[in-house]
């Protein structure tokens, strides 16, 4: 490999395959563990994050450490790895020793969903939101169920500029099931466009960088994997609380094959739907006969602002949830 590709040379280490065998690290189904053994692929994932030299990189779910090795070779100033499965401690400690002359590798055993970024990244100067991204990167090849759940939590933090985003527009490089990666970036009119597309695109520039075939993993998952970068937007396409936006987008997509007013009217109590449903679309200046996947983020934003204005007029609307047991019973009785 050229010096430009790898900036830091690690001392000779056993291969990841040997370590897996040596420590009997059988992949656990309940943690959806699938390991990457090919250095060219792990290097490519790290390259997708852009330059990380002298950055602090937080890797989620390092497992035996194949992506971690690729990260270290790119000479960041610090790497924090957050791993739930303690069986990987010896292999990560081996890496910690191997790179200690060059950088700090901090091993955090635990669930990424409980990790306190503001504490873990403390000491790093905060960047202005409108400035360049801060020298921090989040990188991870996580189980699909965790990465989808995590991205929603992280988008909320991006919108509130807390957690890893208290430091500025921290970029993310994450893997998803290929279909989920396609949903994240799906533009208006695309058959994959869904709640996740609209939510991601409100707050981030999302890019599906490349696809890793399932056969590259051990054990092989049933699906291919998409590597996605998400860079928080300087100017988000919406400036309303995450909870409000999530509620509106979720309702509109609830009936994705129907006209968008059908899902949206469920935002209101049954007795007000005939009045407030049309009013919502009139205020938003959006064609109520479009299917949800035909709506642009700008149109979704106008629907969210219109809903917010209606809630300001009638604050009890905010708490209305057609799925709450009380309302389901009322609807059945009507």
Which residue number is nearest to ligand SAM in terms of Cβ? 61
Q: For residues 270 and 250, give the distance between their C-alpha atoms in angstroms, rounded to a whole number.
A: 18
**Shortest CA distance to 159 belongs to which of 9, 280, 304, 312?**
304
Closer residue to ligand SAM (CB): 141 or 159? 141
145 is in an annotated binding site: no
Least distance (Å) from ligand SAM to the CB of residue 141? 4
Our finding on whether 163 is near ligand SAM (CB under 6 A) is: no
Least distance (Å) from ligand SAM to the CB of residue 105? 14
Share of the chain residues as helix, strand and coil, in percent rounded to the nearest 5? 50, 15, 35
Residue numbers 83-122 binding ligand SAM by CB under 6 A: 83-85, 111-113
Residue numbers 224-283 binding ligand SAM by CB under 6 A: none
Least distance (Å) from ligand SAM to the CB of residue 188? 32
Which residues, in sequence order, are bridge partners of residue 138?
58, 172
Which residues, in sequence order, are bridge partners of residue 106?
80
DSSP H helices, the chain, are 16-22, 39-48, 66-73, 89-99, 117-120, 144-160, 178-185, 195-203, 242-253, 260-264, 273-284, 297-313, 325-333
Tell whether the torsion through CA atoms of 144, 208, 293 and 238 is positive or negative.
Answer: positive
327 is in an annotated binding site: no
Our finding on whether 18 is near ligand SAM (CB under 6 A) is: no
Q: For residues 310 and 128, give the distance between their C-alpha atoms in angstroms, rounded to a whole number.
A: 33
Binding string, residues 51-90; x marks residues near ligand SAM by CB under 6 A = ---------xxxx--xx--------------xxxx-----
Closer residue to ligand SAM (CB): 83 or 299? 83
Which residues are known binding-site members? 34, 36, 61, 83, 111, 141
Residues forming contacts to ligand SAM in the complex (CB under 6 A) are 31, 33-36, 60-63, 66-67, 82-85, 111-113, 141-143, 146
Which residues are known binding-site members for S-adenosyl-L-methionine? 34, 36, 61, 83, 111, 141
């Amino acid at each position: 490999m050229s010096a430009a590709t790898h900036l830091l040379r690690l001392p000779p280490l056993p291969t990841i395959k040997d370590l897996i065998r040596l420590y009997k690290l059988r992949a656990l189904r309940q943690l959806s563990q699938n390991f990457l053994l090919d250095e060219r692929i792990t290097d490519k994932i790290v390259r997708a994050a852009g330059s990380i030299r002298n950055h602090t990189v937080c890797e989620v779910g390092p497992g035996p450490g194949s992506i971690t090795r690729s990260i270290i070779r790119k000479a960041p100033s610090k790497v924090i790895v957050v791993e739930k499965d303690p069986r990987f401690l010896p292999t990560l400690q081996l890496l910690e020793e191997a790179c200690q002359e060059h950088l700090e590798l901090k091993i955090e055993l635990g669930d990424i969903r409980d990790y306190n970024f503001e504490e873990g990244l403390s000491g790093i100067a905060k960047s202005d939101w409108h400035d360049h991204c801060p020298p921090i990167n989040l990188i991870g090849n996580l189980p699909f169920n965790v990465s989808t759940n995590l991205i929603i939590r992280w988008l909320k933090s991006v919108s509130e500029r807390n957690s890893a985003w208290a430091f500025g527009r921290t970029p993310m490089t994450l893997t998803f099931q290929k279909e989920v990666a396609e949903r994240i970036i799906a533009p208006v009119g695309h058959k994959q466009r869904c709640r996740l597309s609209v939510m991601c695109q409100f707050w981030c520039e999302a890019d599906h960088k490349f696809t890793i075939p399932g056969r590259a993993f051990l054990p092989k998952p049933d699906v291919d994997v998409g590597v996605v970068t998400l860079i928080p937007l300087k100017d988000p396409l919406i400036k309303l609380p995450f909870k409000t936006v999530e509620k509106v987008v979720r309702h509109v997509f609830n009936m994705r094959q129907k006209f968008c007013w059908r899902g949206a009217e469920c935002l209101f109590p049954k007795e007000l739907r005939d009045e407030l449903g049309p009013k919502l679309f009139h205020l938003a200046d959006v064609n109520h006969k479009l299917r949800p996947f035909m709506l642009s983020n700008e149109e979704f934003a106008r629907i969210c602002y219109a809903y917010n204005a209606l809630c300001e007029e009638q604050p009890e609307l905010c708490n209305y949830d057609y799925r709450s047991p009380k309302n389901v019973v009322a609807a059945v009785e009507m």
